[in-house]
Amino acid sequence: MTNLWLTASLWMGLALVSGLLASWTGISISLLEIFIGVLAGNLLGLHTAPWVDYLAGFGSILLTFLAGAEVDPVVLRTKFKESFSIGLAAFLLPFAGVYLFTRYVVGWSVPAAQIGGIALSTTSVAVVYAVMVETGLNETELGKLLLAACFVNDLGTVVALGVLFADFNAWLLLFVAVSAFVLSLTPWLTRWFFRKYGNRVGQLEVKYLFFLLFFLGGLASQAKSEAVLPAYLLGLAVAGFFLKERDLLHRMRAMAFALLTPFYFLKAGLLVSLPAVWASLGFIALALLLKVFTKFLGVWPLTRVFRFDPREGMYSTLLMSTGLTFGTISALFGLTHGIVTRLQYTALVTVVILSAVVPTIVAQRFFLPLAAFGNRGAELSPTAVRPEGKKRVKADELAFEVKLGNEKGDD
């Protein structure tokens, strides 16, 4: 299809279908976008295009930035020792395990095995967070520590992706020096800029952040590093600021979810080959088991050292075995830079998707900590009301207004 707008409408139509399916099923939009992308690529023969690549690339950068900006610096500081050790072990052991397996058992090249190790070393902060909100664990010490450990794990992933494939030359030196300078100034500069130019119709603060993302991302690319590395670090640098400026975060989220991330996830799915999934079933199963097993080796002993209850330890370990965003970003980086083949990419992305689903289900089904049940009564908006009068009103006189989307709740 050569008509640009019709092509764009097809992509946006697929994003819309994914969003509707997400709304009906309660499954996350990103996972469904990947799924719809797989179907569109394999059954409709949809191809990517330079403008799609640009939007998808921008989407992955913005997604990584927002992930960095979600970090709660206070949580990270208060339990630094525990969260750092668990997060580091949760990154290193799966990375090493998957690297050795793909390199020496499966016979991948060194860079491809590195991509494999990085893609399967990730954890999903969002999956962990959603599960903890449902169980009320996000308000406990264990929950806060786990989230902080997830941030450290993800940091390990983006640093590995940014460093392992970089050219160690003058460009890298320049990138490191400029990034260090900009990132050290960013917390102060952002507050100042927002105070002076924020909340105007021209969205200057958004343009300011996009400028920094593109500039540092451009320098990273020049050094053959990955643009998501400075994006995550930039997110971390403004995390405290974003905790207060929720409105700015919402605006950026709206831009990301409406226009950019659909292209990223659809493209990530588009490049998955269904015949390759079938051909790699054995590898996929083994790699998934290996990821969970190495996460277990890295995280579970530390949970015992830090005196977690055994059930809590197992629950934490399984939740840290989840992964989605950075897993797909790493695999896509490998494919677009010619480091992994489409077969390897397909296998990695399939394992990444399964690692978001399987450990979560097992953790919730079999290892939900007993503390979670105590927190079940902790609701979002409690109010208690005692009646004042006893005037009878017919049920028909009640006016329920349904303004948002579908009927949520019981049937």
Q: Can residue 201 be called a binding residue for other proteins (CB under 8 A)?
A: no
Number of residues counted as binding other proteins (CB under 8 A): 66
Of the pair 33, 82, the CB lying nearest other proteins is at: 33
Query: For the chain, how long is the longest CA-to-CA vector?
Result: 81
13, HSE (Cβ side, Cα atoms, 13 Å): 8
Report whether 144 contacts 117 (CB < 8 A).
no
Taking each helix axis as running N to C, give the angle between helix 50-69 and helix 325-336, from 0 to 180 degrees, rounded to the nearest 10. 140
Of the pair 299, 358, the CB lying nearest other proteins is at: 358
Q: Among residues 30, 186, 294, 350, which is the contact residue for other proteins, using CB under 8 A?
A: 30
Q: Can residue 377 be called a binding residue for other proteins (CB under 8 A)?
A: yes
Site for other proteins in 69-108 (CB under 8 A): 70
Q: Among residues 2, 5, 201, 400, which is the contact residue for other proteins, using CB under 8 A?
A: 400
Q: What's the min distance (Å) between Cβ of 106 and other proteins?
A: 27
294 contacts: CB under 8 Å, gap ≥ 6: 93, 94, 96, 97, 98
Q: What's the min distance (Å) between Cβ of 295 and other proteins?
A: 17
Report whether 326 contacts 158 (CB < 8 A).
yes
The Cα 248–Cα 242 span in angstroms is: 7
Piece of 39-47, 172-180, 219-227, 353-361 that binds other proteins (CB under 8 A): 353-361
Q: Can residue 365 be called a binding residue for other proteins (CB under 8 A)?
A: no
Residue type, 293: F
Q: Can residue 383 be called a binding residue for other proteins (CB under 8 A)?
A: yes
The Cα 319–Cα 199 span in angstroms is: 38
Q: What's the min distance (Å) between Cβ of 405 and other proteins?
A: 8
Cα separations (Å) of 48 from 10, 28, 34?
12, 23, 14
Q: Can residue 387 be called a binding residue for other proteins (CB under 8 A)?
A: yes
Centre a 10 Å sphere on the Cβ of residue 298 and count the other Cβ atoms it contains.
Answer: 27
Site string for other proteins, 263-282 (x = CB under 8 A): --x-----------------
The Cα 177–Cα 170 span in angstroms is: 10
Q: Can residue 245 be called a binding residue for other proteins (CB under 8 A)?
A: no
Q: How far apart are the first and last CA of the chain?
A: 43
Site for other proteins in 305-324 (CB under 8 A): 322, 324
The residues of the shown chain that bind other proteins, judged by CB under 8 A, are 22, 24-31, 63, 66-67, 70, 124-127, 129-130, 133-134, 249-250, 253, 257, 261, 265, 322, 324-325, 356-357, 360, 373-374, 376-377, 379-393, 395, 398-405, 407-411
